[in-house]
């Protein structure tokens, strides 16, 4: 039986992972689950899935969690140490990383060094430390199985095909809720408007990233590392229906895509059962009902985050970590009404232009750049709002 740890079990991907496991015609044992603050949901999941470990990131909530799990055999752990411990447990075969943000870097690296395969939803880990994560994965013979819908689609299309056969990848983007907005309308959008994604029901941070197109920018960098391709071979096309999850154009001009209804349970299940496919009760795609699949260019003049991500990716070194950290701060400021929507790219642009890049960085240098960018972003945020 496959044994797994789920980092971030209380989030959008985490809860859907548990739902897939519950409905799967294959026994998967959930050994450990983790949350940041959501104690009640964590306790409910821990009891239902009879886990061995429940981890709470926020150290202030440990005693609360302990008291709610009194009388069970579940071990309570906390903080980054707890996350790292459950990512490296002897009995675990696969670690699902569905936390949000660069906080996922250390547990992912620890899991890889312990020889665990990774089901990776947490794109910020690859954006921040892709060079080290992919190097260590190769060295330790572990699989990085992408959960992110576009990368999962490409992974399925490639199915072991050599990267030298690829002409280019084409990542699809929904365009987000402001695909048709003008520059002046973008200045006035609210948090509520930005959280209203047209096709996907996701956590707050990624939903804002989709609205700014930073999500697609992060995904371009994620694809660079996962599929070992230069940035000039990774394109983005806006596809408002989110039915075509991404495409690969091969050298011979065959272009192959993976299609489906927008439902993350499909890529999650593929990762859980990989390399096998299992029956499920999800809905079939009915193209006659969908009727129209449309495609258009991304408006990088209005959504400059996508351009900044390409630039940061091409510069390399510590720059993508800085882009990511600045974005994490900008999004959290926007969500707490301290920044306007159109100030998100402004803040990121100022932070990346103030950064002194370290090329071929060590993990410590990457994490230092991440820390620097967070504090710089706070300063810039205070100046511009």
Ligand X SMILES: CC(=O)[C@@H](O)[C@H](O)COP(=O)(O)O
Ligand Y SMILES: NC(=O)C1=CN([C@@H]2O[C@H](COP(=O)(O)OP(=O)(O)OC[C@H]3O[C@@H](n4cnc5c(N)ncnc54)[C@H](OP(=O)(O)O)[C@@H]3O)[C@@H](O)[C@H]2O)C=CC1
Residue 222 binds ligand Y (CB under 6 A): no
Q: What is the number of H-type helices and E-type strands within the chain?
A: 17, 11
Question: Is residue 276 marked as binding?
Answer: no
216 binds ligand X (CB under 6 A): yes
Does residue 214 bind ligand X (CB under 6 A)? Answer: no
Per CB under 6 A, does 172 bind ligand Y? no
CA distance 307 to 219: 12
Q: Is 124 among the annotated ligand-binding positions?
A: yes
> Which of 46, 57, 247, 366 is in the footprint of ligand Y by CB under 6 A?
57
* Strands of 234-238's sheet in order across: 234-238, 166-173, 244-250, 255-259
From the list 128, 77, 76, 81, the residue with the least C-alpha distance to 100 is 128
The reply to whether 152 sits near Mn ion by the rule CB under 5 A is: no
Smallest distance from Mn ion to CB 132, Å? 22
CB of 149 to ligand X, least distance (A): 3
Tokens of 179: 């695909």
Indicate whether 149 belongs to the interface with ligand X (CB under 6 A).
yes
The two three-digit tokens of residue 20, written as one number:
């897939």
The verdict on whether residue 234 carries a ligand-binding annotation is no
Q: How far apart are CA 212 and CA 70, in angstroms?
A: 44
| Under rule CB under 6 A, residue 328 binds ligand Y | no
Is residue 149 near Mn ion by the rule CB under 5 A? yes
Kindly report whether the peptide bond that precedes residue 114 is cis, defined as omega within 30 degrees of 0.
no
Q: Which of residues 262-301 bind ligand X (CB under 6 A)?
A: 264
Is there binding between residue 148 and ligand Y (CB under 6 A)? yes
* Contact status: 11 vs ligand Y (CB under 6 A): yes
176 interacts with ligand Y by CB under 6 A: no
Residue from 9, 12, 17, 174 touching ligand X (CB under 6 A): that is 174
Q: Is 218 in the site for ligand X (CB under 6 A)?
A: no
Separation between Cα atoms, residue 201 and residue 205, nearest integer Å: 12
Near ligand X by CB under 6 A: residue from 128, 210, 342, 349: 210
Closest by CA position to 121, among listed 195, 203, 53: 203
Which residue carries 């197109």 as its tokens?
213
CB 57 within 8 A of CB 39: no
Known binding residue 284? Answer is: no
d(CA 6, CA 120): 10
Please enumerate in sequence order all residues whose Cβ is within 8 A of that of 175, keeping only pairs 6 or more positions apart, or say none: 198, 213, 238, 239, 240, 296, 298
Q: How far is the CB of 32 from ligand Y (least distance, A)?
A: 13
Cα–Cα dist 40/17, whole Å: 18
Using CB under 6 A, which residues numbered 74 to 133 contact ligand X? none
Q: Does 263 bind ligand Y (CB under 6 A)?
A: no
Residue 150 is labelled as binding a ligand: yes
- Which listed range, 8-16, 138-146, 354-362, 370-378, lies at the site for ligand Y (CB under 6 A)? 8-16
Query: Which residues line the annotated binding site for Mn(2+)?
Result: 148, 150, 219
Binding site for Mn ion (CB under 5 A): 148-150
């Amino acid at each position: 039986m496959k044994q797994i740890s789920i980092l971030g079990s209380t989030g959008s991907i985490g809860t859907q992972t548990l739902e897939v496991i519950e409905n799967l015609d294959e026994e998967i044992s959930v050994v450990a689950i983790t949350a940041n603050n959501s104690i009640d949901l964590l306790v409910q999941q821990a009891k239902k899935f009879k886990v061995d470990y429940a981890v709470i990131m926020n150290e202030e909530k440990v005693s609360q969690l302990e008291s709610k799990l009194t009388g069970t055999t579940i071990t309570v752990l906390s903080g980054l140490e707890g996350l790292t411990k459950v990512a490296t447990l002897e009995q675990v075969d696969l670690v699902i990383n569905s936390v949000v943000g660069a906080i996922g870097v250390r547990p992912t690296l620890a899991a890889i060094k312990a020889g665990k395969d990774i089901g990776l939803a947490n794109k910020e880990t690859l954006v921040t430390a892709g060079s080290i994560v992919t190097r260590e994965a190769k060295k330790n013979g572990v699989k990085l199985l992408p959960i992110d819908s576009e990368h999962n689609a490409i992974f399925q299309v490639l199915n072991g095909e050599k990267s030298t056969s690829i002409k280019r990848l084409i990542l699809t983007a929904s365009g987000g809720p402001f695909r048709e907005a003008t520059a002046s309308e973008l200045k006035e959008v609210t948090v509520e408007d930005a959280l209203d994604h047209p096709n996907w029901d996701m956590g707050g941070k990624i939903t804002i990233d989709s609205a700014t197109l930073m999500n697609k920018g992060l995904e371009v960098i994620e694809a660079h590392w996962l599929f070992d391709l230069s940035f000039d071979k990774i394109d983005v096309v806006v596809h408002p229906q989110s039915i075509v999850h991404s495409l690969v154009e091969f050298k011979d001009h065959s272009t192959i895509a993976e299609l489906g209804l927008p439902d993350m349970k499909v890529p999650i299940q593929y990762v859980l059962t990989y390399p096998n496919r299992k029956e499920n009760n999800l809905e079939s795609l009915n193209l006659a009902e969908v009727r129209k699949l449309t495609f258009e260019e991304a408006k990088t003049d209005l959504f400059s985050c996508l351009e900044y991500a390409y630039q940061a990716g091409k510069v390399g070194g510590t720059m993508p970590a800085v882009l990511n950290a600045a974005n994490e701060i900008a999004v959290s400021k926007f969500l707490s009404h301290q920044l306007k929507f159109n100030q998100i790219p402004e803040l990121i642009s100022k932070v990346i232009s103030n950064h002194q890049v370290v090329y071929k960085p060590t993990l410590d240098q990457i994490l230092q750049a991440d820390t620097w960018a967070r504090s710089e972003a706070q300063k810039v945020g205070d100046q511009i709002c």
